[in-house]
Amino acid sequence: MYILRCANGAYYTGHTTNLELRLAEHQSGEADGWTKHRLPVELVFAQEMPDKDQAFRAERRVKGWSHAKKEALIAGDWDMVRQLAKKPSFRG
């Protein structure tokens, strides 16, 4: 599972079995249309998963996260990830 930061500051989350190849595809504009129009992209997070199913599930979960929560994940700030996972009324 990986996260790219696009030229416009947006994040793209995906999964692959070959990160180097997939990143090259994104950079060249050969990957899906979403990143093609937001070049250049920069790899900001990657996490190896035990299998493709778990990578796909992680991708789907992270895609639903807010920009702030993705930034906390990228920074490795697990306390903030947990805080942002709470409902706003429980964040204190």
Reply yes or no on domain 2-65 having CATH 3.10.180.10: no
Q: In the 8-state DSSP scheme, what is residue 90? A: G
Domain ranges of the chain: 2-65
As a whole number, mean pLDDT of residues 68-88 equals 93
* pTM for this entry: 0.90
Three-class secondary structure of residue 54 per DSSP: helix
d(CA 37, CA 6): 9
pLDDT in tens, 5-52: 999 999 999 999 999 999 999 999 988 788 999 999 999 999 999 999
